[in-house]
Amino acid sequence: MSQVVLCGYYGYGNAGDEALLATLLEQLPPHVSPVVLSGNPTATAARYGVATCDRRQGQKVLRTLQQSQAFIWGGGSLIQDVTSWRSPLYYLGLMTLAQRFGCRTIAWAQGIGPLRSPLYRWWTRVLLRRCLAVTVRDSGSAALLQQWGIPHQQGADPVWLMSARSVLPPKDKAPIAVCLRPHRHLTGDRWQLLKTALHQWQEQSGVHLLLLPFQPQQDLPLAEDLYGALRPEQTQLVSCEDPREMKGLLATTAGAIAMRLHALIMAASVGCRCFALSYDPKVSYLMADTGMAGVELAALPPDPTALIHQWQHTFAAPVPNYQPYLQSAAVHKAVLNLL
């Protein structure tokens, strides 16, 4: 067996990153023995039945890298310095160590950038050139790597192919899922606008809403505040930790209104109509790549009625054909056979 270290933002309760981990574990070749670097190694080991290492314990991480034959940057927007300068320092540092220890390295399903720091841009280029394979999940990242002259493959986000776990359907008619997160672009005025629009939509059409916090530590207070502004008989709030169950829940809905990238991908992959509220380039790339309906959060229409009309149009339209993206996502699985 070949031991491979899986490195991502795992173990922090973010359903999107957990979905990337679940998908990566499903796609690894059978001869590979994974060790997951996790912020909550006990929970990760229990959920997925894999070996883990606490990503915050430097000596243990170092020993794990020395004992491994391969290393995977396991998906997501790991290499960007917009939210924090510390985050890319951590991931770039681990990739550097892995390569110095002789590990075969793969950058898997990455969203590269934005990178404002010249040092981080240089460091990223150096490391990616030494990788066995590089795959990216969006056209923006592909364009950046093409500009840098780095060989790569582009495919749709691998979570398009993650398996779903069946869950009990809602008692009433199929709801619209709502997946929101705090962000500086979700100002007080815009938050009030969304609450007003969703409440009016319920009053006017009787729509049922299913509130799904994707990262409960961040999203749950927002979902609870929204729940208090909506009609309780038409609203349900559900929090679950397993991304495969989250995808199963989305399969019971009639569609999704979401900020989080993987809420949109999971919903689309099970045949839902989707309306994106983009707060980040990765969501805008998804909208551009798939033609998914939505609006930039910073450009929300000021009138709740205009927003309701957009939702009604989206959820009355035929379900888009997302089959090409399911096929495209197989690119990331294929490169794992190089391990």
Q: Where are the domains of the chain?
A: 2-154, 176-324
Burial of 240 (0-12, 13-18, 19+ CB in 10 A): middle
* pTM, 2 dp: 0.91
Which pLDDT value is given to residue 53?
Answer: 98
Superfamily of domain 176-324: Glycogen Phosphorylase B; (3.40.50.2000)
Q: Give pLDDT < 50 ranges for the chain.
A: none
Which pLDDT value is given to residue 240?
Answer: 87
Burial of 336 (0-12, 13-18, 19+ CB in 10 A): buried
Q: Are 50 and 34 in contact (CB under 8 A)?
A: yes
Which pLDDT value is given to residue 289?
Answer: 83
Nearest to 163 by CA among 266, 9, 50: 266
Cα 321 from Cα 332, distance rounded (Å): 21
Burial of 184 (0-12, 13-18, 19+ CB in 10 A): exposed
Cα 225 from Cα 214, distance rounded (Å): 15
Which regions of the chain does DSSP assign to beta strands (E)?
A: 2-7, 32-38, 51-54, 70-76, 104-110, 133-136, 153-154, 176-179, 209-211, 235-237, 255-258, 273-278, 293-296
Which pLDDT value is given to residue 170?
Answer: 63
Which CATH class name applies to 2-154? alpha beta
Alpha-carbon distances of 240 from 151, 219, 310, rounded to whole Å:
38, 12, 29
Amino acid identity, residue 185? H
Which pLDDT value is given to residue 171?
Answer: 61
Nearest to 19 by CA among 223, 159, 177: 159
Cα 155 from Cα 135, distance rounded (Å): 7
Which pLDDT value is given to residue 75?
Answer: 86
Which pLDDT value is given to residue 114?
Answer: 87
Q: pLDDT tens across 94-153, in order?
A: 999 999 999 999 999 998 988 999 999 999 999 999 999 999 998 889 999 999 999 999
CA-based angle 193:82:116, to the nearest 5? 135
